[in-house]
Amino acid sequence: MNGPRLPAELQSPRAFAKYRTLVIKGRSVPAPIHEIYGLEAVERSWKLMDAADARRYGLDVRLLRALAWAHARYTDMAGISDGAFAPYRDEERRAYPALFDEAGVYSLDGAAGFMTDACQMPLCQAFLWVCRYRVKAVRSGKFFERTDAPAWAYASGKSGGAIEH
């Protein structure tokens, strides 16, 4: 252990100030998640968030804007996006080295940890946000990972199709 940790607002002060300003600035209106991420039209469908969607994932609707900006801050720090927090990337990486793997690498634990440590979000809400983000991303087809398991893994012995009862 390297001694007591500084509060989030002192770890990466410029980025934290920007984050806090963005969260406070728009908290009187619903969170435009797709605008926060600056997405193209094709991506917006899986980033749109309403109260019903938030409740399905166990998210506190009062935290949506803060969670969205916290996650955007993480993806900028990780080098996955170049949004509002990209200018603070080096500062963030120095302040939170344990939450940064390498440029362009998304880490579930790193994202939730960063949202908690750097942005003061509750850990459970950060994990729920990250889980929702990954589920929506996979469903959108944004990931080109293997989508079929070996035949022996399926209940029917064949790949694809519904489970036979």
Cα–Cα distance measured from residue 134 to residue 150, given in angstroms and rounded to the nearest whole number:
23
**Tens-level pLDDT at each residue, the chain (165 residues):** 344 577 777 888 889 888 888 888 866 555 555 444 544 443 454 456 777 778 888 999 888 888 989 999 999 999 988 888 999 999 999 999 999 888 888 889 999 999 999 999 999 999 999 998 887 777 766 665 555 677 777 776 555 544 443
**CA angle in degrees (0–180, nearest 5) for 8-112-134:** 145
Q: What is the CB-side half-sphere exposure of residue 109 using CA atoms within 13 A?
A: 4
Q: Where are the domains of the chain?
A: 8-140
What is the model's pLDDT at position 162? 47
Judged by phi (left if over 0) then psi (alpha if -120 to 50, else beta), residue 12 lies in beta
Buried residues in 16-34 as b, exposed as e (16+ CB within 10 A): bebbbebbeeeeeeebbbb
Residue 155: CB atoms within 10 A of its CB come to 10
Q: Can you give the pLDDT at residue 28? A: 59
Q: What is the pLDDT of residue 1?
A: 39
- The pLDDT score that the predictor gives to residue 43 is 46
Look up the pTM and report it. Answer: 0.73
- What is the identity of the amino acid at 64? L
Q: How many CA atoms lie within 13 A of 127 on its CB side?
A: 4
CB 65 within 8 A of CB 26: yes
Q: Smallest Cα–Cα separation from 69: which of 25, 104, 10?
A: 25
What pLDDT shows up at residue 113? Answer: 96
Angle in degrees, CA 138, 90, 76, rounded to 5: 25
